[in-house]
């Protein structure tokens, strides 16, 4: 494995970084592995997005036109699984890889080889998930939440492949999170106290904790599902004394922290971008840290709000309703702080800032519709309707995905050494934002009017809104090709980026040249 034979080097410059394919498959460099994560995530984003376009094509008109109902179910299931585990999560890990060592002033993550393993485990998992489309019985079709009894009764091998893919992704996430949490706790530059860390690092510290606490619970749930399918256990079978609802409890005990795993790093990203372009320090840094921690802790006691209609004692329902509502308090603190950061700032509106402002605006809409869903009697009405679809796309697309896009523009100069094309970036922003709202805003109306999700056909009165949504979805999908073009153009060339690419940028990452050299901070800087 080792290619180093030199015996007289006093630095790491001669670790002999291999070129060609070996540079990537054998990498122990946080920047290269971060790049791998980000590209992987982007291709999964396009793939799962294409599946979503299949859904929207079918729903363009009432009636069945393009896909069989079973295949429609497969599209929704794989779209959800791949977007969550293949696109959003790896993108945040990519940022963590690239930026955390630069932000806290250390040479790499604590365990570079394990870091590479975390990435390369994503690949077999993706292969298992995607090839499961072609096995007899077809891909997994019971929704990304894999509720039994459907997921036990479906005897297709694809369900087992998906379960094992998620097991592998779980290993990847746990190893990656242990790596990140260890890096943050043990590798900070001298003087970088916890309360001086950039907020993005804080949000990842807490996210890593959530991952380590929740991913093993998913592993347990998946194992029970697997043994129920093949080894005769009765965890989810009432005839044997089990309960299908048990799956929902264990799954959502993982699933709700998972939701915050996908949004806390997004909060960290826009808390980095907004101060830069408002040219003011982040308002209420300490309260941001405490709010993040509060959201994380609350995320472990709200899971059954996903199950209000599955039957539970009223006392339980009330507990989960109130605990869910409590989350709006720390979240409100965050939104207030972002707005207060912009208040009387010397604002400019480059692409990253446009994305961040849109996130504050649109995520808040998603947060408020979440509050609507948390109200028990309302949830009984809107559960499993397009209202819920609208809600979670407002938090996951305009919260997580759009903050990722903004942050890509923000750090592209640092990564590539070139400024991206600002005009095209703004075009990408406006196309994405408008198309996103055209797609998902009407779903609030169809949902409130009672259109159920995950059904390939619908009653005639929903036709107009669905047509609007579908047109928006195709515009949204095609706009992302522009994103790809802007990124490639920026890698190929463009105006030379300064070390400090943005006038108002703060932080250690802007003290190293652009593009960031292969090795940085081998001797840690001292933070005052």
Partner 1 sequence: MSQNTNNYYLPAPSLWPLIASIALFLMAGGFAMQMNDVASGSYVLIAGVLVFIYLLYGWFRDVIKESLSGFYNKQVDVSFRWSMGWFIFSEVMFFAGFFGALFYIRTFALDWISGSKLVWPDFVATWPTSGPAATEALEAMGPWGLPAINTLILLISGATLTYAHWGLMKNNRKQLTIGLILTIALGAIFLYLQAHEYAEAAFTMDSGIYGSTFYMLTGFHGMHVTMGTIMLLIILFRVMKGHFNADHHFGFEAVAWYWHFVDVVWLFLFVFVYWL
Active site residue ranges: 79, 108, 144, 172-173, 256, 258, 260, 271, 305-306, 331, 334, 453
Helices and strands (H and E) in the chain: how many: 19, 0
Using CB under 8 A as the binding rule, the residues of this chain from 431 to 460 that contact partner 1 are none
| Cβ 140 to partner 1 shortest distance, Å | 12
Q: Are the C-beta atoms of 92 and 41 separated by less than 8 Å?
A: no
Residue 186 lies near partner 1 (rule: CB under 8 A):
yes
| Cβ 379 to partner 1 shortest distance, Å | 21
Residue 23 lies near partner 1 (rule: CB under 8 A):
yes
The DSSP result for 205-252, as a single string, is HHHHHHHHHHHHHHHHHHHHHHHHHHS---TT-GGGT--HHHHHHHHH
Cβ neighbors of 61 (< 8 A, separation 6 or more) are 463, 466, 467
Residue 121 lies near partner 1 (rule: CB under 8 A):
yes
Reported residue count of the chain is 528
Among 92, 204, 235, 429, binds partner 1 (CB under 8 A): 235
Among 67, 189, 246, 434, binds partner 1 (CB under 8 A): 246
Residue 496 lies near partner 1 (rule: CB under 8 A):
no
100/400 with CB nearer partner 1: 100
Give the three-class secondary structure for 458. Answer: coil
Using CB under 8 A as the binding rule, the residues of this chain from 366 to 385 that contact partner 1 are none
| Cβ 311 to partner 1 shortest distance, Å | 8
Residue 326 lies near partner 1 (rule: CB under 8 A):
no
- What is the Cα–Cα distance from 50 to 46, expressed in whole angstroms? 6
Long-range Cβ contact pairs of 170-174 (< 8 A, separation 24 or more): 170/215, 170/216, 170/218, 170/219, 170/222, 171/121, 172/117, 172/118, 172/119, 172/121, 172/122, 172/125, 173/89, 173/118, 173/211, 173/215, 174/211, 174/212, 174/215, 174/216
Q: Which stretch binds partner 1 (CB under 8 A): 101-109, 319-327, 385-393, 430-438?
A: 101-109
5/344 with CB nearer partner 1: 5
CB atoms within 10 A of CB 167: 18
Residue 522 lies near partner 1 (rule: CB under 8 A):
yes
Residue 261 lies near partner 1 (rule: CB under 8 A):
no
- What is the Cα–Cα distance from 410 to 422, expressed in whole angstroms? 11
- What is the Cα–Cα distance from 331 to 336, expressed in whole angstroms? 9
Take residue 410 and report the two structure tokens written for it: 């923000």
| Cβ 222 to partner 1 shortest distance, Å | 10
Q: Which stretch binds partner 1 (CB under 8 A): 19-27, 193-201, 317-325, 506-514?
A: 19-27
Using CB under 8 A as the binding rule, the residues of this chain from 209 to 228 that contact partner 1 are 212-217, 219-221, 223-224, 226-227
173/480 with CB nearer partner 1: 173
243/384 with CB nearer partner 1: 243
161/266 with CB nearer partner 1: 161
Residue 250 lies near partner 1 (rule: CB under 8 A):
yes
228/350 with CB nearer partner 1: 228
| Residue in the structure block whose two tokens are 């799954």 | 251
- What is the Cα–Cα distance from 377 to 308, expressed in whole angstroms? 9
Residue 153 lies near partner 1 (rule: CB under 8 A):
no
Residue 193 lies near partner 1 (rule: CB under 8 A):
no
Cβ neighbors of 506 (< 8 A, separation 6 or more) are 275, 276, 281
| Cβ 142 to partner 1 shortest distance, Å | 17
Q: Which stretch binds partner 1 (CB under 8 A): 18-26, 35-43, 92-100, 189-197?
A: 18-26
Residue 108 lies near partner 1 (rule: CB under 8 A):
yes
31/334 with CB nearer partner 1: 31
Q: Which residues make beta-bridge pairs with 385? A: 452
């Amino acid at each position: 494995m080792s290619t180093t034979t030199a015996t007289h080097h006093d630095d790491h410059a001669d670790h002999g970084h291999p070129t060609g394919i070996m540079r990537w498959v054998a990498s122990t460099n946080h920047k290269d592995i971060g790049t791998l994560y980000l590209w992987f995530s982007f291709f999964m984003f396009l793939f799962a997005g294409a599946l979503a376009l299949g859904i929207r094509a079918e729903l363009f008109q009432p009636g069945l036109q393009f896909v069989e109902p079973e295949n429609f179910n497969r599209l929704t299931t794989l779209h959800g699984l791949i977007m969550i585990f293949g696109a959003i999560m790896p993108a945040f890990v990519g940022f963590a890889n690239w930026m955390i060592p630069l932000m806290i002033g250390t040479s790499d993550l604590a365990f570079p080889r394990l870091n590479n393993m975390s990435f390369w485990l994503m690949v077999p998992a993706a292969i298992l998930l995607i090839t499961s489309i072609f096995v007899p019985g077809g891909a997994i079709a019971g929704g990304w939440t894999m509720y039994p009894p459907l997921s036990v009764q479906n005897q297709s091998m694809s369900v087992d492949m998906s379960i094992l893919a998620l097991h592998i992704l779980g290993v990847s996430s746990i190893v990656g999170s242990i790596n990140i949490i260890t890096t943050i706790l043990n590798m900070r530059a001298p003087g970088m106290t916890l309360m001086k860390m950039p907020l993005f690092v804080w949000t990842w510290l807490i996210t890593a904790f959530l991952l380590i606490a929740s991913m093993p619970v998913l592993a347990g749930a998946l194992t029970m599902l697997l043994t129920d399918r093949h080894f005769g256990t009765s965890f989810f079978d009432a005839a044997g004394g089990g309960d299908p609802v048990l799956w929902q409890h264990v799954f959502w005990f993982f699933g709700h922290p998972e939701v915050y795993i996908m949004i806390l790093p997004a909060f960290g990203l826009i808390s980095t971008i907004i101060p830069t372009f408002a040219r003011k320090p982040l308002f209420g840094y300490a309260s941001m840290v405490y709010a993040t921690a509060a959201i994380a802790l609350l995320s472990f006691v709200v899971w059954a709000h996903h199950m209000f209609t599955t039957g539970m004692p009223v006392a339980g329902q009330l507990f989960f309703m109130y605990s869910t509502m409590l989350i709006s308090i720390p979240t409100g603190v965050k939104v207030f702080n972002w707005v207060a950061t912009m208040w009387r700032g010397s604002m400019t509106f480059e692409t990253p800032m446009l994305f961040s402002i849109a996130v504050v605006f649109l995520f808040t809409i998603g947060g408020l519709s979440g509050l609507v869903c948390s109200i028990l009697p309302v949830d009984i009405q809107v559960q499993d309707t397009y209202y819920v679809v609208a809600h979670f796309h407002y938090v996951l697309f305009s919260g997580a995905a759009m903050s990722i896009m903004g942050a890509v523009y923000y750090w592209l100069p640092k990564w590539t050494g070139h400024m991206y094309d600002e005009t095209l970036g703004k075009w990408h922003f406006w196309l994405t934002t408008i198309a996103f709202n055209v797609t998902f805003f009407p779903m609030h109306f169809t949902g409130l009017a009672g259109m159920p999700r995950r059904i390939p056909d619908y009653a005639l009165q929903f036709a107009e809104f669905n047509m609007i949504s579908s047109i928006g979805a195709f515009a949204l999908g095609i706009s992302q090709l522009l994103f790809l073009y802007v990124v490639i153009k920026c890698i190929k060339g463009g105006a030379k980026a300064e070390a400090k690419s943005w006038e108002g940028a703060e932080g250690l990452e802007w003290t190293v040249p652009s593009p960031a050299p292969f090795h940085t901070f081998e001797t840690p800087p001292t933070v005052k």
